[in-house]
Structure 1
Amino acid sequence: MCFRRLAAVAISLISLALLAGCGGAPPRQQRARVEVVLLAGGGARVDLYAAGRLRSDADVRALARRIAGALFPGAEGIRVRTGKDRGAPFARAEIDRAYRTGRRPFLRIDTSGAARELAARGFDDTAMKLRLPPVPATVRPDISGNQLWHLREGDPAPVIGIGMRPEPARWAGVMALPLLGALGVALAFFVRRRALAAPAAGLAVAAALLALPLGAGRHGADLGVAGLLGGTALDVASAAPLTALPLGMPAAMLLGAMTVRSLRGPAVRNGNEAPPRDTGVFW
């Protein structure tokens, strides 16, 4: 009997110790991630990655709407939807007019309201990433240098100042690439002298090769941030410098044909055949 009592007491003590250990563990922190993207036309979007920690998609959309409203007070027409990014569910809030475009637009984002909304839903530590249009800009404070902040319960929420300096002349500079490419292709295919056709084709190829290193498709953002273009016109202007790329393809093929012909030499002709004219392409 004594042995049974001792065994029962030991089992009871072990069970109590296990229960105490489980009950004393600190609660698991709720984490979320917010990405704030400023668009070139004056709009913005807020992506909330916390869908797996809330009860329904409706809760995620409602929280994303409140966060967007807190980050951009006074914004109208906030549209919210849910989606997946690499398998991770998220909610996206889209805002048409988040800041005023112009020569030197400045935007102040107070994250305290968003931090309160997140803390009220149990998110103790939220990483907030800021993405800007590809224009010269200054962001303060930015201690990390990566435009990344943490919204933690109990810590002061940062107030972010963003100053952008668009330079529309940069778009005009890269827009010269497709113009040079078109000129080079036209001269290469229709000029009557091969001595001019070959350099013209080389000019078109060089313009195509320079398009990507010079960021030809990025400088349309300068027009949008400056308030010169918006909507479909901005999309067309952003893509226009990239037309230098397809113009380089026929020019490269023409250079290849010229090279092959120069290496092989002139073809043998019959006695009654007239010699070909020294043209650029239609030989």
Structure 2
Amino acid sequence: MSLRRMAALGLVLLLLGGLAACGGTGRRGPGAWAHLTVLPDGDGRLDLYAAGPLRSDAEVRALAEEMARETFPGARASRTRTLTDRGEPFARVDVDGVYRPGERVSLRLDTAAVWRRLEERGFPDAGVRLWLPSVPVTLRPTAPPNLGSRAWRLRKGTTPPVVQATMRPQAMRWGGAMALPVVGAVGVALAFFARWRRLSLPGASLAVAAAFVAVVTSAGRQGDNLGVAGLASGRALEAATIAPLAALPPALPAAMVLAVTLYRLAGGRRRSGHPETLPGRNGAFW
């Protein structure tokens, strides 16, 4: 195949990939989507993606407020606004006082109001997706999800699901996540300042491993346990959520130490029987 044909084929593949990415919003199918979000500080949120029969953003906002009042009984809407997601406008309603934080939190979410309001506006079907904090939770929906994890399709002739959610936050999970930045800091300190490779190499490996574990275990979301338990809120909760991610920055210099050291070892710079010298000025490259 000629270079020109390969370039043309690559361009076509890029265009197809771009079109697929633009179309992959995750809300295709039902005529409207309602996202019900329970936040770790006791508040909630309702996002409504609805077009078609609704003629203006103001009408979508008003409909979203009605849904929020009925879906989260006892709570109050604090702010309603129109936002955009990948060029698609939607209405967001911030709701205060969805639940009271504590050691055990029980929620009952009835999606009947969502479907009833959308059906009145002429929508043939709708989708509802539930988002919960990253804490141990038990879900008991009256109907199994049929649009993916924690997502249901609502249409005429079906009964909208009622979801009973029980959240049991565990503050120790956040404590475990906070051990990762400590491990990363100790590892990178050993990597740069230890005199012998038998300490610096394991230290650098430890810092990289701590960052990897932080990403795999979603350590940045373990702060939700403190919020749901009522142990932190506001700025303190934001700081607690971000703190475990401090395990990520030490991984870069530690990886550099590993790469340089392994390169030198592979190149034969460490000769048999040659004693190790004192580290250089930065304590890493000897």
Whether the TM-score (by the shorter chain) exceeds 0.5 is yes
Query: Are the counterparts in 1 of residues 68 and 77 from structure 2 also a CA contact under 8 Å?
Result: no
Taking only the aligned residue pairs, the percentage that are identical comes to 50
In 2, Cα distance between equivalents of 1:211 and 1:113? 39
In 2, Cα distance between equivalents of 1:277 and 1:119? 76
State the match for 1:109 in structure 2: 109
Residue segments in structure 1 that go unaligned for 5+ positions in a row = 1-29, 268-274
1:91: Cα distance to partner? 0.9
In 1, Cα distance between equivalents of 2:80 and 2:41? 19
State the match for 1:270 in structure 2: none
Alignment of 1:166 with 2:169, yes or no, is yes
1:282: Cα distance to partner? 6.1
Task: State the Cα deviation string for residues 61-105 of structure 1 (Å, max 9, x = none).
Answer: 111111101111221243111122223221111113211221110
Alignment of 1:147 with 2:150, yes or no, is yes
State the match for 1:83 in structure 2: 83
Give the direction of change, closer, same or farther, for the CA distance of 1:109–1:260 in structure 2 (3 Å limit): closer
Query: Are the counterparts in 1 of residues 185 and 250 from structure 2 also a CA contact under 8 Å?
Result: yes
Alignment of 1:205 with 2:208, yes or no, is yes
In 1, Cα distance between equivalents of 2:138 and 2:246? 31
In 2, Cα distance between equivalents of 1:115 and 1:217? 34
User: Which is further off, 204-213 or 118-127?
Assistant: 118-127
State the match for 1:48 in structure 2: 48
In 2, Cα distance between equivalents of 1:118 and 1:100? 29
Select the structure of larger CA radius of gyration.
1
In 1, Cα distance between equivalents of 2:120 and 2:72? 19
**Equivalent residue runs for 1:229-248 within 5 Å:** 229-248=232-251
User: Which is further off, 59-68 or 223-232?
Assistant: 223-232
Residue segments in structure 2 that go unaligned for 5+ positions in a row = 1-29
Query: Are the counterparts in 1 of residues 36 and 44 from structure 2 also a CA contact under 8 Å?
Result: yes
Whichever residue aligns with residue 247 of structure 1, its letter is P
Give the direction of change, closer, same or farther, for the CA distance of 1:282–1:143 in structure 2 (3 Å limit): closer
How many corresponding residue pairs?
Answer: 247
State the match for 1:189 in structure 2: 192
**RMSD of equivalent CA atoms:** 2.5
In 1, Cα distance between equivalents of 2:284 and 2:133? 43
1:160: Cα distance to partner? 2.1
In 1, Cα distance between equivalents of 2:277 and 2:158? 82
Alignment of 1:255 with 2:270, yes or no, is no
In 1, Cα distance between equivalents of 2:259 and 2:115? 61
In 1, Cα distance between equivalents of 2:80 and 2:71? 15
In 1, Cα distance between equivalents of 2:52 and 2:119? 16
Q: Which SS does the other structure have where 2:94 is aligned? A: strand
Give the direction of change, closer, same or farther, for the CA distance of 1:31–1:213 in structure 2 (3 Å limit): closer
TM-score normalised by length of structure 1:
0.77
